[in-house]
A and B are shown apart, each in its own frame.
Chain A
Amino acid sequence: MAAPNEIVDQLSGSVLFSDLPRPQLEEVAHSIEEQWFSEGQRVLRQGFTGSGLYFIVEGEVAVEIDGQERARLGRGEYFGEVSVLLGEPPVADVVATGPLRVLVLPEPEAEAFLKAHPSVMYRMMQAQARRLRAANLFRG
């Protein structure tokens, strides 16, 4: 029997972490931190160093570039991965559209984390592939 842990339950319900066994989910739950944001608060800041990878647990965010909204992301989705993977500041602001609860993996820990959890990296690559396909379809 595993210890009750709400974050573990949240993680196990998301596609990204769905392949991890319970003990590893517990390690992940202790490695990433919960943060709350209020409506209008910025979570990622365009052009600022030292960000991280964010997983949405509750709420919704708007992705804005130079003040223009480009997309919305909700529960179960994540953001900040491009910045973390490339080691570059985010190219967009990400703003909470209402009360927002996220789990955060800081940039310095992301590389080691993804290498230590290849199944998470694989799920992330699948998501990137889908985005690429969607972008190509849109272009075509």
Chain B
Amino acid sequence: MSPDDRRPFPPGSYPVVVVGSGPGGLQTSYCLRRLGVDHAVISADEEPGGMFRRFPLFQRLITWTKPYAPVERGTREYERYDWNSLLGDEPAHRAILPPLMDGTSYFPSRPEMEAGIRRFTEVAGVPVRFGCVWERTARDEATGGFVLGTSDGEYRTGVAIFAVGMTEPWTAPIPGLDGATHYVDVRPAAHYVDKRVFVVGKRNSGFEIADGLLPVARQVILGSPRPARLSIMVHSTAAARARYLQPYEDHVLAGGTLVLDVSIDRVERSGDGWRVFAAGTTRPGDFVFDVDEVIAATGFRTPLGDLADLGVAGFFDGGRLPRQTPFWESPTVPGIYFAGNVTQGSIGMKKYGTPSNSAAVHGFRYNARVLAEHVAAKHFGVERERPPVPREELVGYLLQEATTAPELWNQQSYLTRVVESDPAVGPVDGGIAPLEAFVDDRHGVDAVAVAVETDATGDIHPAVYVRRGGRVDEHLLPSDPQHDFTGGDHRAQLESVLGDLAG
């Protein structure tokens, strides 16, 4: 570190240290700063953007940003249609991505996304110490906090927030597969011209590769034990997205592509190519495939460094994600938090098996705001304002939130709008909170929370959770073909559910 180093946040003591300069770290820093919580942001990268500096591999996102939407661009409601801009508290900080898109697709290109994140840091002023590599972590015995050893020196803090992305390549433990190409190392499509390619994995990354290779490959075979799950069938962005389904249609119409349910026993080199040994799962039978290339689209893990030595516990395939509380804190090492797509490890209610959108920007950007509020309150005594909600407006307010709140739509069954009953002033706005934290808080004041949920049939409806005397009951309201829950029927039902809370 040279004496004329002008980078912000030199090593030292900070109330909070955020690690990472992808959308998760930047959103968390922005929200902490707005709450007046002093902190440092350090990043191993040289530029903002995180994973979007390199991925998706075929250079276009699967999350949309609609330049023209049913509501005005730049409003809070518009966030529901713009999944990729970071959140801003001021108009100039909002909806930054749409003007940077060239209009050819409502899925931003990777360079457009990267440019949008960079623009956000410039416009909103989110300083980062780049080129500062987090290398090790230890307990600060003197304070009970943590010491983060970095390439620039030591950072001491009571609260460390890791927004390091679930971005480290992970190869399924199939004998021989570690010698094959991982998704992150897939070469340009031209390399696969007239080749037979076996893709291990039938999630989005597998289908993305298959889709990218359709114009060039002689044959693409996708194989994994479980049948492909399609977003339009299971109502979740975690399943294979519609825009990658061309390989699936090719398979269904017998065009040459194969999408197989197989358990792969092993993968071996064979001459210049590979041999894949597999057994059918949904349909018994043994297979041997001779192919030119094998690609492991088996996912990612979180680069948690030495956090396990500190006691941070992981889960999912031997620890690909850290375990987290509903407020994204390590349950085994309090004071260690996570932001960004790692927050998918805080599973929440997962009603009907539908995961949150915490793996994507449009989900975790809201987690970041809730996390910042939680850290500010818990560690620094900065309580959010709780403005009164006039009793006569309570029903209308909750139904309006269910109809338009981007937090509730983008994080269904995961984040909720809370209104608490304050004995002195009546209903007060308790803000956005994790639904799981609300329903399992048996000691909280009487309150109501509204969420948006999709059930097993795909029906999208508001769900109302009422806490009285420590007991929380669930009440489902009906759906609406236009997703407008503000009409008379919904009002009447919610009034009946709320009873004295609204009376």
Contact status A48-B474, CB under 8 Å: yes
Chain B interface category by residue count:
35 or more
Chain A interface category by residue count:
35 or more
Stretch at the interface among B64-72, B172-180, B303-311, B424-432: B172-180
Question: Hey, what's the 0/1 contact readout for A71-98 against B, CB within 8 Å counting as 1?
Answer: 0000000000000000001000000000
Stretch at the interface among A11-19, A27-35, A125-133: A27-35
Give every chain B residue within 8 A of A1 (Cβ-Cβ): 175, 265-266
Q: Within residues 3 to 59 of chain B, which ones have a CB less than 8 A from any CB in chain A?
A: none
Give every chain B residue within 8 A of A34 (Cβ-Cβ): 315-317
Q: How far is the CA of A22 from the CA of B316 in the complex (A)?
A: 20
Stretch at the interface among B88-96, B110-118, B248-256, B348-356: B348-356
Nearest-neighbor residue (CB-CB) of B454 within chain A: A50
Q: A3-B175, A5-B173 are in contact. Are A35 and B347 (CB under 8 A)?
A: yes
Stretch at the interface among B79-87, B276-284, B382-390, B394-402: B276-284
Contact status A108-B352, CB under 8 Å: yes
Q: Within residues 461 to 496 of chain B, which ones have a CB less than 8 A from any CB in chain A?
A: 473-474, 476
Main secondary structure of the interface of A (DSSP, over half): mixed
Give the interface centre of A1, A21, A36, A47 by most chain B CB atoms within 10 Å.
A36
Give every chain A residue within 8 A of B262 (Cβ-Cβ): 23
Q: How far is the CA of A50 from the CA of B353 in the complex (A)?
A: 7
Give every chain B residue within 8 A of A42 (Cβ-Cβ): 440
Contact status A26-B440, CB under 8 Å: no
For residue B365, CB closer than 8 A to chain A, the reply is no
Give every chain B residue within 8 A of A69 (Cβ-Cβ): none
Q: A3-B174, A3-B264, A107-B353 are in contact. Are A23 and B439 (CB under 8 A)?
A: no
Contact status A38-B263, CB under 8 Å: no
Contact status A49-B351, CB under 8 Å: yes
Question: Hey, what's the 0/1 contact readout for B342-383 against A, CB within 8 Å counting as 1?
Answer: 000001011111100000000000000000000000000000
Interface residues of B (CB under 8 A from A): 172-175, 224-226, 234, 261-266, 279-282, 284, 313, 315-318, 323, 325, 331, 347, 349-354, 413, 439-440, 453, 455-456, 473-474, 476
